[in-house]
């Protein structure tokens, strides 16, 4: 695992957020649901890039289109490709950027990102908005965990051993950032946006 606190300065964060807001207007948030039970997640999601991660009663998967509008996902912002090129060490571009929006009170249970075909690529996460408490453990659910805060502008990569580690978000610290304030229509309660860049299929050749 690698953590890059404050990798994006406030101006970079604001520019990236404006690009993500544009993507959200083309590909509105949807409420993911647990496979089988249909229980809703407390976060809402959308994606950009050639593939997007979705979850519904049928299961977890990557697909090229939005589950409600049927449209292709919006393009991945160039700025995210540059971050991936600078930090991933992977010889190909990311194929999916999952956008998670946490209202105050939303959380993400412990999980492993396991729906990709190529585990040699890291998963790169960008935090925007309110600070969150991130927890990471080992490859078995019962392994001990440690927790740390992710703040707006921080970048974290799950690489190597931790690529298959359990991780999640226990809570937000509401009101710790004003980054989302200009978009009060979309985010009336503030909150946090997390972007995760993923390579899904192996680079060929």
Residues that bind ligand MD6 (CB under 6 A): 100, 108, 113, 123, 125, 134, 156, 158, 167, 169, 194, 196
- Least distance to ligand MD6 from the beta carbon of 200, Å? 13
Site for Fe ion in 83-142 (CB under 5 A): 113
Nearer to ligand MD6 (CB atom), residue 27 or residue 123: 123
- The 3-class secondary structure across 24-80, one letter per residue, is HHHCCCECCECCCCCCECCCEEEEECCCEEEEECCEEEEECECCCCCCECCCCCHHH
Size of the site for Fe ion (CB under 5 A): 1
Closest CA to 167 of 127, 145, 125, 136: 136
- Least distance to Fe ion from the beta carbon of 107, Å? 13
- Least distance to ligand MD6 from the beta carbon of 120, Å? 15
- Least distance to Fe ion from the beta carbon of 138, Å? 15
Cα–Cα distances (Å) from 26 to 23, 47, 118, in that order, read 5, 10, 28
Nearer to ligand MD6 (CB atom), residue 61 or residue 71: 61
Nearer to ligand MD6 (CB atom), residue 121 or residue 169: 169
Closest CA to 43 of 114, 112, 103, 124: 103
* Cβ–Cβ < 8 Å for 56, 33: yes
Residues binding Fe ion (CB under 5 A) = 113
């Amino acid at each position: 695992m690698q953590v890059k606190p404050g990798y994006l300065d406030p101006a970079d964060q604001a520019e990236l957020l404006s690009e993500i807001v544009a993507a959200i207007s083309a590909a509105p948030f949807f409420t993911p649901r647990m496979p089988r039970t249909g229980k809703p997640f407390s976060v809402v999601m959308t994606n950009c890039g050639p593939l997007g991660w979705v979850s519904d009663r049928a299961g977890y998967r990557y697909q090229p289109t939005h589950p409600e509008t049927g449209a292709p996902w919006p393009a991945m912002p160039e700025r995210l490709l540059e971050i991936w090129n600078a930090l991933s060490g992977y010889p190909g571009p990311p194929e999916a950027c999952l956008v998670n929006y946490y209202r105050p009170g939303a959380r993400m249970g412990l999980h492993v990102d396991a729906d990709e075909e190529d585990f040699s690529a890291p998963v790169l996460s960008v935090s925007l908005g309110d600070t969150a408490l991130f927890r990471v453990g080992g490859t078995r659910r019962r392994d001990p965990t440690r927790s740390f805060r992710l703040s707006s502008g921080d970048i974290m990569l799950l690489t190597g051993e931790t690529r298959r580690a359990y991780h999640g978000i226990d809570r937000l610290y509401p009101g710790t950032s004003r980054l989302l304030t200009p978009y009060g229509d979309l985010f009336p309660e503030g909150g946090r946006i997390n972007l995760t860049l993923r390579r899904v299929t192996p680079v060929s050749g």
